[in-house]
């Protein structure tokens, strides 16, 4: 098995696990089940759309440094491994028939390239810039990101945001590894609920499924906690 095929399989398992998680949460919220569902219909949750998937960009070359936005040569860019990671995630999403609507990315080359390799077309927006960890930078980052997390996707689609670590930490208090995703369900009033987070090569074996009792109450934005997969992994930067 080639390295590329191996990454594709890991990414596909990631998305199957995500579909299992979303369907299970929906069933619990409706009082229909207390145990994980099974079968091909599990993928239907994401296929029906309605979620915002926030990716931190794929893996990068940390020997490079960010100097300016003027050009890719003055930024930290994706590594070859990161490019393969982005392609594998995109291939898995397409193979599962999960509808993607808008794809937005910050102006940095690593976020734009992640989005392009995984999803094709991308809209660039400065609202997704990671501005740093000072109090003022965090306030600005959070104020710009929160409306995007709470914006309902177009009918029958999921919105993808490809960005950095700083601004999601400011908006939702969590730290993502490179290539990791956090999944949000927008509310009717512009609020948002984080329903889970998954790394690009992570899947949920049956024995690791969270206790249903711990998921009985939705966590609205602003509540403390690390989410369903509460480990802190990777550097917290851009």
User: Which pLDDT band, with edges at 50, 70 and 90, does 208 fall under?
Assistant: very low
Domains of the chain: 3-215 (3.40.50.1240)
Report the chain's C-alpha Rg in angstroms.
Answer: 17
Residue-wise pLDDT for 125-158, tens only, equals: 999 987 777 899 999 999 999 999 999 999 999 9
What pLDDT, on a 0 to 100 scale, did the predictor assign at position 6? 62
When the pLDDT of each residue in the chain is averaged and rounded to a whole number, the result is: 76
228 pLDDT higher than 60 = no
Whole-model pTM over 0.85 = no
Element (H, E) at 159: strand 158-163
């Amino acid at each position: 098995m080639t390295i590329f095929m191996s990454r594709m399989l890991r990414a596909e398992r990631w998305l199957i696990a995500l579909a299992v998680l979303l369907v299970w949460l929906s069933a619990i919220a409706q009082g229909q089940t207390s145990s994980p569902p099974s079968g091909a219909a599990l993928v239907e949750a994401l296929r029906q759309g309605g979620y915002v998937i926030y990716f931190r960009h794929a893996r990068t070359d940390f020997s490079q440094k960010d100097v300016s936005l003027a050009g890719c040569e003055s930024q930290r860019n994706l590594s070859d491994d990161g490019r393969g990671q982005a392609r594998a995630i995109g291939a898995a999403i397409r193979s599962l028939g999960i509808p993607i609507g808008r794809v937005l990315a910050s102006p940095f080359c690593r976020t734009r390239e992640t989005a392009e390799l995984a999803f094709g077309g991308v809209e660039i927006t400065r609202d997704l810039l990671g501005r740093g960890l000072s109090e003022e930078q965090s306030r600005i980052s959070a104020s710009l990101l929160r409306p995007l997390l709470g914006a309902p996707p177009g009918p029958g689609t999921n919105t993808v945001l490809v960005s950095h670590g700083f601004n999601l930490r400011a908006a939702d208090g969590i730290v993502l590894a490179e290539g990791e995703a956090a999944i949000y369900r927008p509310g009717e009033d512009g609020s948002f609920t984080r329903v889970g987070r998954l790394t690009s090569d992570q899947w949920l074996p049956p024995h690791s499924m969270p206790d249903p009792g711990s998921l009985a109450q939705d966590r609205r934005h602003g509540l403390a906690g690390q989410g369903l997969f509460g480990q802190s992994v990777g550097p917290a930067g851009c």
